Every structure is written in C-alpha cells, then in structure tokens.
Amino acid sequence: MFELSATQKQLQANACEFAKKEIAPRAAEVDRTESTPGKKWNFLQTGFMGMTFRKIWKKGCFSGKVSY
C-alpha cells in the first residue's frame, strides 16, 4: 500500500491549513461574482507554486510530483 512520507504529510497539512484560512472564506464570493478578489492572497509566499522546481533554479523545493 502506498503511504505519504513525513515531508509529504506536512506539505499536505500546510496546504489544507492555507486553503481553510485563506481560500475558503472567500470562495463563495468569488463563485458568486465570477471574479478574482482584489486582495492578493499570500499563495506565492507559501512555496506551493515552486515545489516542482529543483533547488538549482534558486526557487522551489522539488517536493516531487506526488506532492504536487
């Protein structure tokens, strides 16, 4: 049976916490208005966008395709 590594589990928990805290409270309004919020989310600061890039690119963490 496949099981996530400790790092992958932590990444999953971080993504879940971010979604609950930053995305969920605004989701209904975004759906209703069919627009993106004016306030920028701190999504890029989380590192989620760069996790498929290797560190040699100076950004990202390359958590692997499973984590992505």
Q: Encode pLDDT of 23-59 as tens digits.
A: 898 889 889 998 876 666 666 666 666 666 555 555 5
pLDDT at 32: 92
pLDDT at 63: 55
* One-letter amino acid for residue 36 of the chain: T
d(CA 65, CA 42): 22
- Helix (H) or strand (E) holding 33, with range, is helix 24-33
Q: How many whole angstroms from its chain centre is CA 32?
A: 23
Q: Quick one: pLDDT band at residue 5, thresholds 50, 70, 90?
A: confident
What are the pLDDT digits (tens) for 15-33? 899 889 888 988 898 899 9
Q: How many whole angstroms from its chain centre is CA 3?
A: 20
Q: Quick one: pLDDT band at residue 64, thresholds 50, 70, 90?
A: low
20, 24, 39, 43 from 32: Cα distances, Å: 19, 13, 17, 21
